[in-house]
Structure 1
Amino acid sequence: MWTFSAIGWFDIAFSQPFIVVLVLLIGLSIDYGLHVVMRYREARESSETSPSRAMTVALGSAGGALVYITTTTVIGFLSNLTSALGVFSELGVVSAIGIVATLLVPALKVELEGVIERREIDRLKPAVGTGGGPVSRVLDTGATLATKAPYVVIAVALLVSATGAYGATGIDASFGQSDFLAEDPDD
C-alpha cells in the first residue's frame, strides 16, 4: 500500500516489472519478522524475562542489523538510477521506497498504538460482519444458503469461475524482450 501510494506521489507510471516488488516486500517483511520473533524467543527462553523486556532485547539485537540490511539493500536498488532503461530506474526507486516502508511502518504503528493507549482512546470495534449491519446480513445469507443448498452454491461458484476464466482468455498476455528496451536510448 505504501509503495504504490508513493508511485502515485512521485508520478511514476505503473508497469509490469513493479509486480515483482510486491513479492520482494512480502518476503522481506516475513524475513524481518522472523528475525525479531526468533530473537524474542531466545530472550524468553534464556531467563525469566518479561515479554516486554524480551522484546526490548530482541529489537535491540536484531533491530540494528535490520536497519543495516535495509540501508544496503536500498542503496543497491537505487544504483538502478544509473540505468539507461527508464523502467529499471523506476523499479529501483519503487523498490527502495517499499523496502524503507517495510522497516519503518510496523515500528511507527507500534509507536502510534502506544500514544493511543496512553491517551486512553477506545478503539475496540467488533469484527467485520458481527455488528448486525449489512455485511453481517450478507454473510449470514451466504452461510444459510451454503447450509441449505450446498450444491447450488457450488454450481454458482463454478459458473462464476468459468465466466471469469472465459473472460481471461481475451486478455493479451504476450511479452517480448523489446518491452524492456528504452524507447529513447541514449547514444
Structure 2
Amino acid sequence: MQKRKLGNSNLEVSAIGLGCMGMSFSYGPPKDIQEMTALLQSAVERGVTFFDTAEVYGPFTNEELVGEALAPFRGQVAIATKFGFDVSPNSDPRGIKGSPGLNSRPEHIKQVVESSLKRLKVETIDLLYQHRVDPNVPIEDVAGAVKELIQSGKVKHFGLSEAGVQTIRRAHAVQPIAALQSEYFVVDEDS
C-alpha cells in the first residue's frame, strides 16, 4: 500500500484510509460489532493505516469500536477523530429528532478530547478535526484550543472538515492544518 504524508506534517498514513462512520451510524442500522472488528483488523492486515471516526458517530459507540478493534495495532495505525457537536447519548446528530447543535467552545473541545482518548484507548489522538465550522466561535479560538492540546501531548495534528478557504487560512495562522476533509460519496445512490 502506498503511503502519504498529510500536509507538511510528519504524519504518514496509507494512501487509502477507512472511514468508520457507517459501522455504527448512518447508512442503515448499526452493524455487528464482531463483524466490524474483523473488518477493521483485516484492513490493517491489508496495509490500511489511517482510520477516521468521530464522537458523534453512534454517538460515542464508533470511537469505542475503533479503539477496541485497533488496540493490538496501535503503533502501526493513525486514528483521526472529530469534535464540534453538542452530543449527548440521547441526541440525534442527524437532526431527525432535533439537532444537537454545534459546539466548538475551547472548554468543550478539551472535554471531548478527554472522553475520546478514553473511548479510543489511546494517550494521544493522531489527528483531531473540527467536524463542522461553528459560526459562534472564532476559528482562531478553536485553533488555539487545539494548539494547547498538541502542546500538552494529547493531540498530534489538527484538521478541519467542511471548511472554506478563509477559515482554513485563519486557523492555519494559529495552528498548522495537517488535513482538510470534505465528504463525497463514490457510489451512485441511484443504482
Task: Give your verdict on TM over 0.5.
Answer: no
Structure ranking higher on relative contact order (CA contacts 8 Å, 6+ apart): 1
TM-score, normalised by the number of residues in structure 2? 0.23
Return the index of the structure with the highest Cα Rg.
1
Q: TM-score, normalised on structure 1?
A: 0.24
